[in-house]
Amino acid sequence: MIFEHLSAYVLGAMSFFAERDATPNMRAIADAITATSIERPSFGSAQRTALVLASIAASESGGFRDDVIDCRVLGDSGRSRGTYQIWGGPKQVCTDQLFAAHTALTIAEDSMRVCGTLAAYCSGQCNRGRAIARHYQDRAEKFAREHPMMMPVPD
């Protein structure tokens, strides 16, 4: 029940961040983010981790564009691919959303460990990309504050 509830919450956040209705691709991404965040709640809780990943994905994929998600369109002059625009990412990030979410979280964890922010995720360096890194985290935190996740009470 927790998985389904968090996944629905994440899907709502993704739609909010991208300012669009949910698509089948977005449902698969929400499920992958949820599984990854429950397994590795790196940002203090599964909810917060999921919202940070959803915020990153919303921007990096151009609002969850299918052609970006499945790598028909690449970023950074052809060097970044998939939902999270993973620099030099393997083709598996184009076809396996769980793999993509795990990979993105690993890069985000490394960035936080080395830089204290998501700057290295955004730019590859600690001294660049700070504004967009702050935006990703601020947007996630604001969503959590303004749209608290309510757990259903079992019968």
Q: pLDDT class for 116, splitting at 50, 70, 90?
A: very high
pLDDT at 98 over 70: yes
What's the mean pLDDT in 56-83?
A: 95
Amino acid 155: pLDDT: 54
Confidence of residue 77 (pLDDT cuts 50, 70, 90): confident
Residue at token pair 């994929």: 61
Q: In this model, does residue 105 exceed pLDDT 90?
A: yes
Give yes or no for a contact between 10 and 50, defined as CB atoms under 8 angstroms apart. yes
Task: Report the percentage of the chain scoring pLDDT > 70.
Answer: 96
pTM over 0.85: yes
Structure confidence at residue 150 (pLDDT): 82
Query: Two tokens at 17?
Result: 């961040």
Instruction: Kindly compute the dihedral angle of the four CA atoms of residues 119, 122, 125, 130, in this order, to the nearest 10 degrees.
Output: -40
Taking a C-beta distance cutoff of 8 angstroms, is the pair 153, 10 a contact?
A: no
Name the more confident of 150 and 132: 132
Single-letter amino acid, residue 114: V
- Find, among 39, 19, 3, 5, the residue nearest to 152 by Cα: 5
The rounded distance, in Å, linking the Cα atoms of 105 and 37 is: 9
* CB-based burial label for 39 (10 Å; 0-12, 13-18, 19+): middle
What is residue 154's predicted lDDT score, i.e. its pLDDT? 57
- Beta-strand runs (E) in 82-140: 86-87
Residue the block writes with tokens 């985290």: 137
Q: What is the structure's pLDDT at 153?
A: 53
Structure tokens at 142: 């604001």
